[in-house]
Amino acid sequence: MSKVSIYLNFQGKTEEAFYFYKSVFGTEFTSPIMYNRDIPSQDGGYPFPENELDKVMHVALPILGGIQIMGTDMLESMGHHVVIGNNTTINLEPDTLAETQRLFDALSDGGSDIAPLSKQFWGAYWGCCLDKYGIRWMFNSYENGHA
């Protein structure tokens, strides 16, 4: 079966962010968080500086409808820097307007650039926010009723 996964990049905040998302969605990581220190040593492999050994190499968390988000810490030693635009926007279409509102409220808490849920011409209640970790979330709920 096909899957859709969305990969998120952070500058040293992956673990913190993924524990937050875990609390929002009430799901469990698909496997333990892998840190750079967990990568098996190989001849010719990248020699991580001491301050990057505890950075997240990979984490995966199921969210809604079979979708997974995955994440990693970008490494300054490799010239990586996170800026808004090199992470991603995630579109969520929950089953109910109530769930849409709950997720919107949780993810926009402490965030910015918030467009509240409102009825749109395409028939959905739509909203968007940039969460406190710099990730953009978009919401579409097609349930009848009010946000």
Structural domain total, the chain: 2
Residue 77 DSSP one-character state: G
Please report how the helices 14-25 and 97-108 are oriented relative to each other, as an axis angle in degrees rounded to 10. Answer: 150
Take residue 105 and report the two structure tokens written for it: 């409220």
Domain region containing 23:
1-77
List the structure tokens of 8: 């998120």
In a domain? residue 135: yes
Is residue 2 over pLDDT 90? no
| Per-residue pLDDT at 129 | 93
Would 103 be classed as within a structural domain? yes
Residue 141 lies in a domain: yes
Whether the predicted pLDDT of 145 surpasses 50:
no
101 shares a domain with 47: no
- DSSP state at residue 54: T
- For β-strands 112-119 and 125-130, DSSP reports them as antiparallel
pLDDT, tens digit, for every residue of 131-140?
999 888 989 8
The whole-number pLDDT of residue 147 equals 42
Q: How confident is the model at residue 34 (pLDDT cuts 50, 70, 90)?
A: very high
CATH of the domain at 129: 3.10.180.10
